[in-house]
Copies of this chain bind each other. A is one copy, B any other.
Amino acid sequence: MDDKDISNAVIARLPRYYRYLGELKNDRIERVSSRELSRLMHVTASQIRQDFNNFGGFGQQGYGYNVDYLYDEIGKILGLDHIHNMIIIGAGNLGQALVGYMNFKNRGFVFRGAFDISQNVIGKKIGSIEVLPLDDMPEFVRNNNIDIAVLTVPKTAAAGIAKELVECRIKAIWNFAHIDLPVPDSIKVENVHLSDSLMKLSYNLHRSEDDTNTTGAAE
């Protein structure tokens, strides 16, 4: 498999393809051409074909792409044919929301444990899992084949916990703390910086207002 050095831009588009293909699948549509998908998704057909061909040819000339097959293949590329064992660190509202989000489970992402430092939540149950004290986390990670740690703690706590996670050989961190984690490159980090996202929205909101003004008066 020469998955090597495929650009981030391509990878970032795969989940969206996967989503649209899932919908076509639900609608019992058997085949789709890059042209149809292009119209549906508002990206160029050329880009769609280029993207897919990074991973080998999934289509057939004169026919297009088989929806079921393409869906499965993209799923495999994204690792969705594996079960991922996850823990959550920080059992606040956000942590609880993520654990409760059942769609993750459907895709093979399963929460095995939850950890916090607050006596208010330790011992509580989130769905079927009990919140344990953070001190128990390293042992739990080692004993339960945990792949992914989800970090939903205040940013002041995040760096310290990240170091512990490195020590117990976590493979990946899904980071919701508003900080760039100090971990070696061997550990994969995906950041969800919510306030960055909100700031982008804010920028676009004001830009459009500025534009409106600008069109009215010259200079």
Q: A15-B193, A107-B195, A197-B192 in contact; A202/B96 too (CB < 8 A)?
A: no
Is B198's CB under 8 angstroms from A174's CB?
yes
Chain B: which residue is nearest A94 at the CB level? B97
For this chain, the copies found in one complex come to 2
A192 neighbours in B (Cβ, 8 Å) = 192, 194, 197
Is A100's CB under 8 angstroms from B93's CB?
yes
Rounded to whole Å, the gap between the CB of A4 and the closest CB of chain B is 7
A194 neighbours in B (Cβ, 8 Å) = 98, 101, 192
Count A-side interface residues using an 8 Å CB cutoff. 57
Pick from A29-37, A63-71, A79-87, A137-145 the stretch touching chain B.
Answer: A79-87
Is A79's CB under 8 angstroms from B205's CB?
yes
Q: Is A199 an interface residue (CB 8 A)?
A: yes
Q: Residues of A at under 8 Å CB distance from B?
A: 1, 3-4, 11-12, 14-16, 18-19, 77-80, 82, 84, 92-94, 96-98, 100-101, 103-104, 107, 109, 147-148, 171-172, 174, 178, 186, 188, 190, 192-208, 210-211, 214
